[in-house]
A and B are shown apart, each in its own frame.
Chain A
C-alpha cells in the first residue's frame, strides 16, 4: 500500500474506532428521529381538553358554537369575576356582549395560553356565528352571501414549463437544506482536520512522520481520511434515522398513521403518484407542496451535485483549516486565522437564504459562481433547476471551485510544510505569506 493510503487508513480508523464517533453516530439519528417522531406525534395527538366558558349575556352564541373533541363550549349569562374563573373548571373565558357586532373585538382570558389550534377553533366558530347573525339582521340570504364571499386560490405557473404549477419556493427550500448540510459538514470536519494537524504538531510526532513522508502527503492523507469519516457518518445517519423514524412512528402512531407513509422514499413515491393525478386541479396545502416539490426536482442530478459541491467545498476549506492548524501552537491562537476562513462561510449561508426568496438577484448569481460561497449557494439553484437551464453558470462554478481547491491546497501545503516545524512563535499574516514563497 502506498504511503498516502496508509495515512488515510490510519486517520480513518483512529477516528471511526473512537467511542465518541460511535456515540455521535448512534445519538445523531436518535436525536433526529426522536425529534421528527415527536413533532409528528405532537401534531397528530392534539392538546389537552379545553373548556371554554362564553359569557353570552346577549344570547348570541348559545348552542350555536360547534366544539371539537378537544374544545368544548359552555355558556353563562352572568358576569364571572376573576377569582371565580380561577377557581372554576374552565380553561378559557370569553366575554361577548352585544358590542361585538359593532367593534368586532373579542376578549379571551386564559389560565394557560391556549395553542394556535384552540385559538383558531374559537375564532372561526365565533366568526361563523356572528356572520350568520349579521346576515339575519341585514336580511341577506346565506346562499347569496356564500356566492359573494371570495377566497382567491393563487397558482403560479412558469411560462417555460407550462401546465405545471410552480413550486420554486419549496424547491429552493430543499436546496437550502442541502446547502446547509454542506455548510455544517465543512465546518464540523474542517475543524477536525485543524485539530488533527495541531495534535501532530503538539505531540511532536510530525517530525518523525515527515522524515518518512512528504508534508503534502501527510496533509492530504489527513484531509481525505477525515472526509471518509464524514461520509461514513452521514451514510450511517441516513440509514439509521430512516430505520428509526419508521420504527418510531410505527410504535407511537400505530392507530393514527400508516408508518409506510412516513418513511422517506416510500412516502414520496406514493404521494407523487397521488399528486400527479390531481396536481393541476386541486390547490395544495403547504406541506404537500413541499413533498410535491421534492418529486419535481431532478433528484439524481441534485444528489450528484450535492456530493460534488460537498466534497469540493470540503477540500477547499479543509486545506485552509490544515494550514491554520499548522501555523499555531495552541487552540487559543487559532482565532485570528479562523475568522477570515469563517466569514465567507457565514456569507454563503446568508446569500443562500436570499436565494430562496429572490433567486435571480445578482448577489445570488455571484455567490453561486465564487468558489468560497458556491458550494452552499449553488445548491439552492441546483434544487430549483435553474442551474441546469443555464449550464454555463454551473460549469463555470464547478470549474472555478476545482481550480480554487487546487490553489488553496497548494497554498496550504506550502504554509503547512513550514508551519508544522515552527514552534514558540506568534505567527503573523506577513509571516504566512513568507512561508508560501520559501524555496524547496
Chain B
C-alpha cells in the first residue's frame, strides 16, 4: 500500500528524519510509535504531502506518489481543529469537497454518518456550540467521509470518553475490514496491542524497530513462564535444578503461581517433565512482553542517561 524508502528531512541544521524506510502492508492497521519529538509528525506530514522530503521516495500503491493521491488519504492530525463559527454539516461537506467529492455525494454520505453515530441533531449547530468530545467525533467523520484508501490517525483516542473511544475503535476495525489501510500514531500502548497488526518504532530520527506485533513481542520475549500448581514449593524448586530459575511466586488459597525463567536450551516440555512428579500442575503460560515494555526497552532502556518520554496515556 505505502512504501517509504530512505526518507530524509532536515530543518536547517536539525535532522528530523534520517533515511527512514518502512512498508505499510495493504489492509493492515499499522502503528507508528516513538517518543515525542522522534520524527513521527514529520513522517506523517511527508506522507500527506504537507511537508516535502529532502530525499527518498514515497510509493503509493506501488508507484511514486503524486499530488492527486492526497485525495485518497484521510488525515486526523494530533492537534484537532475545525472552523468554530461554521455549521457542523456544512463543514463536513466542505472538507469532503476539498478532497474532491461532489457536493451531492458529500452531503449524502455525511448525513449517513451523522445518522449512524446518532448526531443528526448537530447538523445545523456551530462547532463552538459543541462539547470537546462532540467536536472530536465530527472531526473523525470529516477524516473518513471521502472513503480514503489510507487513513492516518494521530492519537485518535485522545479526548474521547471510554464509550466513544470504543466507538472509534470499532469504526477503525470496520474500516480495515472494508479494505482501508490504517496508520495509527499513538502513545497508548494498550490500543496498539488491541488494534495494530504491524508497527514501526522511530526514535531520534531513525527507525529502530518494525514488523508484525506478534513477531516483535516474541523477539523481545524474556523466556519467562508462569506455572500454576498445588503442592510443595520446595519440591518444585528442587525439580528445576539447573534448567530454570525461580524469579518469584505468589500463593493464593492452595495454589502457587511461580514465575520461572528458562535457561538456554531448556524447553517448556523439559520444565514440565522435571516438575510433574513433584507437584500438581494447573496451568502454564508464557509471559509475553507488553508493547509498553517493548517500547521502553527499545527506546529508553538501552540508552541510559537519556530521559525517555514514556507512554502518556
Contacts and interface: CB of A to CB of B under 8 A. Distances in A.
B254 to A, nearest CB: 58
Nearest to B51: A440
Contacts of B98: 3, 6-7, 209, 212-213
Interface stretch (B70-78, B204-212, B222-230, B300-308): B70-78
Given A6-B97, A10-B94, A14-B85, A207 B79 contact: yes
B81 A203 contact: yes
Contacts of B86: 14
Interface in B54-77: 54, 67, 70-71, 73, 75, 77
Contacts of B75: 207-208, 211
A211 B51 contact: no
B66 to A, nearest CB: 13
Contacts of A211: 48-50, 70, 73, 75, 77
B83 A212 contact: no
Interface residues of B, number: 32
A76 to B, nearest CB: 72
Interface string A1-30: 101001100100010000000000000000
Contacts, number: 64
Contact of A205 (B12, B51, B82, B97): B82
Given A208-B142, A211-B48, A211-B49, A203 B99 contact: no
A6 B94 contact: yes
A12 to B, nearest CB: 13
Contacts of B143: 208
A212 B70 contact: yes
Contacts of B45: 421
A421 B46 CA distance: 13
A264 to B, nearest CB: 37
B7 to A, nearest CB: 13
A421 B53 CA distance: 16
B132 interface: no
A206 interface: yes
Contacts of B70: 211-212
A209 B79 CA distance: 13
Contact of B54 (A208, A214, A439): A439
A210 interface: yes
Nearest to B44: A211
B186 to A, nearest CB: 17
Contacts of B11: 438
A247 B122 CA distance: 45
A214 B94 CA distance: 16
B80 to A, nearest CB: 6
Contact of A203 (B71, B73, B82, B142): B82
B52 A205 contact: no
A204 interface: yes
Contacts of B84: 203
A14 B83 CA distance: 10
B94 A208 contact: no
29 contacts: A1-B97, A6-B94, A14-B83, A199-B83, A203-B81, A203-B83, A204-B77, A204-B79, A204-B81, A205-B81, A207-B50, A208-B77, A208-B82, A208-B95, A208-B143, A211-B49, A211-B50, A211-B73, A212-B70, A212-B98, A213-B98, A214-B67, A421-B45, A421-B50, A434-B12, A438-B11, A439-B54, A440-B52, A440-B53
Interface of A: 1, 3, 6-7, 10, 14, 199-200, 203-214, 421, 434, 438-440
Given A211-B50, A438-B11, 16 more contacts: A6-B94, A14-B83, A14-B85, A203-B84, A207-B79, A207-B81, A208-B95, A208-B142, A211-B48, A211-B70, A211-B73, A212-B98, A213-B98, A421-B45, A434-B12, A440-B51
